[in-house]
Chains A and B, each alone.
Chain A
């Protein structure tokens, strides 16, 4: 845009050095934990004096961390399994209804992403407490599903908008019931978007911390909840190891999603 000002070198240099500084600000906290995770000392020295894998061993060798990892993975999987089909059905409904009805449904489904997490968390805590369900996997699961549905819809709605509905009508007129029309025509054609939605829903659950902090407990503590508690109490390089693994996994997932969407 600024090519209209080819002679203004100082402004250009200033803008780009400013840009570099802000980029550094954005990247630094994520990158700084990587070398720390390979440190052999339990102090947070930088750069580490000697390298080792002891913090990775500490993570994989700890029953508590492993239980939390298991819970988080199970929860993420269940969240995706529940949220994506519900999201798909709701998106078909929004896509077909149009008008005011569609806008209302969309508005209601988006509420959880606008309400502050802390309010959802304590409200859910109260509701679950009344049913004696605090600390159960179910309690955290409904909280995560409700956050994952809008995420799934954001991926699926544009995909459905590109989908040619005449195909479904053709199938219906040839005698296919709705289950077959949706399962046999819509699902295969939205395959890639459904995969993206599944991964995003999984990540939403894996990354969620506030609801977990209030609603999960004991055996059902999630990885973010445990990380939060140990960040509050002491800073241990085990967290650096977890953080590094986490970042690598998330970046891999995001790369898969973006590359698949482009192809």
Chain B
């Protein structure tokens, strides 16, 4: 017996469906008001002069400035740099966690998640304390005689990168750990019993099977780092200027809303480009049958 058989019931089902659609309207309305409208407004603002006339002058001004291009380069460098270190540090950590006993792994995961639950400002402050000229790390380095002069670890690119890797590592780790935990231990055993060394097993069994997780983690790293603001603003000390910082400066210091909007649109375009790149990579991975993507 199908609902459609009875016209009265079908009308009922339709009205119920309308009711369920209506339930999501308040949430959709506020997202439209406070997220989608603002993005559209940025696009509009990018074509306006300070007086409110239509112009393409903002684009000419921003695109002809060398600062814009160096900001683009810095943004990409920070994102890829963060990704590189996340893969380098996070993959072995995920492997260790995935091969630990469940109870140990859960405890360690709780510690990994601790920074995730701490305010970004708290963490940034912690890094300032650690990395300053007279900070803990420099004190340890000079104290032990490893270096004679304190190293410039913060208020530069290095410090910004350290802060960003620290922010992203737990978020990168989650999908990679999930992918590795799902690997059938029998596959590893089979590989070992056939005489593969540990290195060979990691290269040919574990890494290909966790490629999906690493891929998901990389997307997360990009989504977050492309517009990162707090870390470069504090740990960069004015010397590291990705797009986010240029946007803020153009807006707050120069009150140039039009140019700030153009920079915002560049950021959106950059995101879209990287998104397309990832989609292409996923298609390539699917064709070669590498791993499954963990969201």
Contacts and interface: CB of A to CB of B under 8 A. Distances in A.
A127 B44 CA distance: 11
B271 interface: yes
A92 B122 contact: no
B84 interface: no
B23 interface: yes
Interface in A1-48: 1-5, 8, 11, 15-16, 18-19, 22-23, 25-33, 36, 44, 46
A16 B100 CA distance: 10
B182 to A, nearest CB: 11
14 contacts: A22-B169, A23-B111, A28-B130, A32-B130, A90-B27, A90-B28, A93-B23, A111-B36, A119-B267, A146-B30, A235-B125, A247-B119, A247-B122, A251-B117
Contacts of A29: 115, 122-123, 125-127, 129-130, 166
B31 A246 contact: no
B19 A178 contact: yes
Contacts of A185: none
Interface string A234-263: 010001101100110011001000000000
Contacts of A32: 126, 129-130, 136
Contact of B123 (A30, A44, A92): A30
Contacts of A3: 99, 185
Interface stretch (B2-10, B53-61, B65-73, B229-237): B229-237
Interface in B83-130: 89-90, 92-93, 95-99, 108, 111-115, 117-130
Interface string B220-234: 000100110110011
B230 A209 contact: yes
B41 interface: yes
Contacts of B125: 29, 33, 227, 231, 235, 239-240, 243
B34 interface: yes
Interface of A: 1-5, 8, 11, 15-16, 18-19, 22-23, 25-33, 36, 44, 46, 82, 86-87, 89-90, 92-94, 96-97, 101, 105, 108-109, 111-112, 114-120, 122-127, 130, 142-143, 145-146, 149, 178, 203, 207, 209-210, 213-214, 224, 227-228, 231-232, 235, 239-240, 242-243, 246-247, 250-251, 254
A228 B21 contact: no
A201 B93 CA distance: 30
